[in-house]
C-alpha cells in the first residue's frame, strides 16, 4: 500500500517509513500540512501527527477523507483524538508505538474498506435485481416461514426485506446445496437463514428439513404447492414473471407470459404467428388467462 506520513519530527517519520518499507509498503514523508496538501498522488493510508507545531491538520483529514486516516498522538485529549475522529479520522495510535501494532491497524482498516466496497456493490446489485418486485404490505410474519411462489426472485426479495425489517443478518443456504439441512443446528441465534429450493428435496429430506426448522429463524421457499399445518405459509404470486435460466415453465405459463408482455409490441397477426397459433386461439387464450389488450 502507498502511505503518506505527515510528521514534523523527521527522525521519527523516517524511522516509521523505514519499518513500513520493510513490510512492503511505499511511503512519502511530509513535515508540513501545506506540502502534504499539494500532493496529487493516490494514497491508501494517511499517518497524521496531531502534534504539528502551529499547524492546522484538519485540512489533511478533509482532503484525504476517502482514505484510511490514522492519527499518531503523543497524548490523548479532545484536541488530539476526540475532535479529529469526529472530523473523519478512523483511529489513533499513541507514541511511542510498536510497528506491529500500526501494521495491524492498517490491515484492519484496509480490510474494512474492502468489505464496505463489496457491501455497496451487493446492495446496488440486489436493488437492481429485486427492487421492482412487489412485496406484501405487511412484513409481520412468524418464523419459521414457508414462501410458496411461482417466481423465485419474489421469494428472494421477500426474504431480504423481512430480514431488514427485523434488523437481523441474513444467511443464504439453498437446499440444493449439500449439507444445508445439517447446517441448521449450527446457525447463529441472532441470524435469519434463507433456505430456498424446498422443491428440490426428496420426500425423506423434506420431512427431515421440516423437523429441523421447528423453532428456528428460517425462511424457506418452494415453487410447488405446499401444505403443512405446522409451518406458517404465505403465497406470493407474480403475474409479471420474468424468465430465469434456472426455471422451466409450462407451455401455458410461457404463452401467458408472451401474450402479457408482448401484445403491446406486436399486432395480433404477428404475435399469433410467433406463438404458432391462430388469431382465434390467441383471443381464446386471452380470455382464458384474463388478459385484456389495451386499445
For residue 245, what pLDDT is reported?
A: 47
Residues 222 and 157 in one domain: yes
For residue 251, what pLDDT is reported?
A: 82
CATH code, 63? 3.40.50.2300
Residues 14 and 59 in one domain: yes
Residues 163 and 200 in one domain: yes
Q: List strands edge to edge, sheet with 192-195.
A: 170-172, 192-195, 218-222, 145-149, 232-236
Residues 162 and 192 in one domain: yes
Cell of 82: 476526540
Residues 17 and 97 in one domain: yes
Asked if the structure places residue 136 within a domain, the reply is: no
Q: How far apart are CA 188 and CA 37, in angstroms?
A: 47
Can you give the residue range of the structural domain that contains 191? 145-236
H or E element at residue 164: helix 152-166
Do residues 59 and 72 lie in contact, with contact meaning Cβ atoms separated by under 8 Å? no
For residue 294, what pLDDT is reported?
A: 56
Residues 38 and 78 in one domain: yes
Residues 202 and 113 in one domain: no
pLDDT tens string, the chain, 295 residues long: the values are 999 999 999 999 999 999 999 999 999 999 999 999 998 899 999 999 999 988 999 999 999 999 999 999 999 999 999 999 999 999 999 999 999 999 999 999 999 999 999 999 999 998 888 888 888 888 889 999 999 998 888 999 999 999 999 999 999 999 988 899 999 999 998 999 999 999 999 999 999 999 999 999 999 999 888 888 889 999 988 765 555 545 566 788 788 878 876 787 788 999 989 899 999 999 888 888 777 765 5
CATH code, 193? 3.40.50.300
The 3 state secondary structure assigned to 26-45 is EEEEECCHHHHHCCCCCCCE
Residues 113 and 83 in one domain: yes
Could you give the 3-state DSSP secondary structure of residue 125?
helix
Domain count of the chain?
3
Q: How far apart are CA 92 and CA 49, in angstroms?
A: 10
Residues 219 and 266 in one domain: no
Q: How many CA atoms lie within 13 A of 236 on its CB side?
A: 26
Asked if the structure places residue 226 within a domain, the reply is: yes
For residue 265, what pLDDT is reported?
A: 75
Angle of helix 99-130 relative to helix 10-22, nearest 10 degrees?
60
Asked if the structure places residue 200 within a domain, the reply is: yes
Residues 34 and 67 in one domain: yes
Asked if the structure places residue 241 within a domain, the reply is: no
Residues 96 and 44 in one domain: yes
Cell of 45: 493510508
| 30 Cβ contact list (under 8 Å, min separation 6) | 4, 5, 6, 36, 39
Do residues 23 and 98 lie in contact, with contact meaning Cβ atoms separated by under 8 Å? no
Asked if the structure places residue 130 within a domain, the reply is: no
**What global pTM score does this model have?**
0.66
Distances (CA, A) of 154 to 67, 249, 258: 38, 16, 19
Asked if the structure places residue 190 within a domain, the reply is: yes
Asked if the structure places residue 74 within a domain, the reply is: yes
Asked if the structure places residue 53 within a domain, the reply is: yes
Q: How far apart are CA 287 and CA 275, in angstroms?
A: 16
Residues 264 and 212 in one domain: no
Amino acid at each position: 500500500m502507498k502511505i503518506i506520513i505527515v510528521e514534523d519530527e523527521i527522525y521519527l517519520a523516517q524511522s516509521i517509513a523505514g519499518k513500513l518499507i520493510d513490510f512492503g509498503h511505499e511511503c512519502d514523508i511530509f513535515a508540513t500540512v501545506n506540502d502534504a496538501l499539494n500532493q496529487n498522488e493516490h494514497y491508501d493510508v494517511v499517518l497524521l501527527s496531531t502534534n504539528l507545531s502551529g499547524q492546522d491538520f484538519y485540512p489533511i483529514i478533509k482532503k484525504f477523507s476517502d482514505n484510511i486516516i490514522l492519527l499518531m498522538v503523543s497524548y490523548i485529549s479532545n484536541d488530539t483524538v476526540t475532535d479529529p475522529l469526529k472530523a473523519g479520522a478512523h483511529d489513533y495510535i499513541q507514541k511511542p508505538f510498536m510497528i506491529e501494532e500500526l501494521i495491524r491497524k492498517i490491515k484492519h482498516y484496509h480490510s474494512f474498506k474492502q468489505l464496505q466496497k463489496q457491501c455497496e456493490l451487493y446492495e446496488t446489485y440486489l436493488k437492481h435485481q429485486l427492487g421492482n418486485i412487489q412485496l406484501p404490505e405487511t412484513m409481520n410474519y412468524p418464523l419459521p416461514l414457508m414462501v410458496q411462489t411461482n417466481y423465485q426472485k419474489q421469494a428472494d426479495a421477500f426474504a431480504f426485506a423481512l430480514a431488514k425489517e427485523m434488523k437481523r443478518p441474513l444467511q443464504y443456504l439453498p437446499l440444493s446445496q449439500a449439507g444445508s439441512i445439517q447446517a441448521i443446528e449450527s446457525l447463529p441465534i441472532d441470524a435469519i437463514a434463507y433456505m430456498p429450493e424446498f422443491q428440490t428435496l426428496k420426500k425423506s429430506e423434506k420431512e427431515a428439513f421440516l423437523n429441523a426448522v421447528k423453532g428456528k429463524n428460517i425462511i424457506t421457499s418452494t415453487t410447488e404447492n405446499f401444505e403443512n399445518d405446522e409451518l406458517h405459509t404465505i403465497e406470493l404470486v407474480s403475474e409479471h414473471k420474468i424468465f430465469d435460466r434456472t426455471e422451466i415453465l409450462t407451455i401455458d405459463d410461457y404463452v401467458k407470459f408472451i401474450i402479457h408482455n408482448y401484445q403491446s409490441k406486436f399486432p395480433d397477426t404477428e404475435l399469433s404467428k410467433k406463438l404458432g397459433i391462430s388469431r382465434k386461439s390467441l383471443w381464446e387464450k386471452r380470455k382464458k388467462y384474463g388478459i385484456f389488450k389495451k386499445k
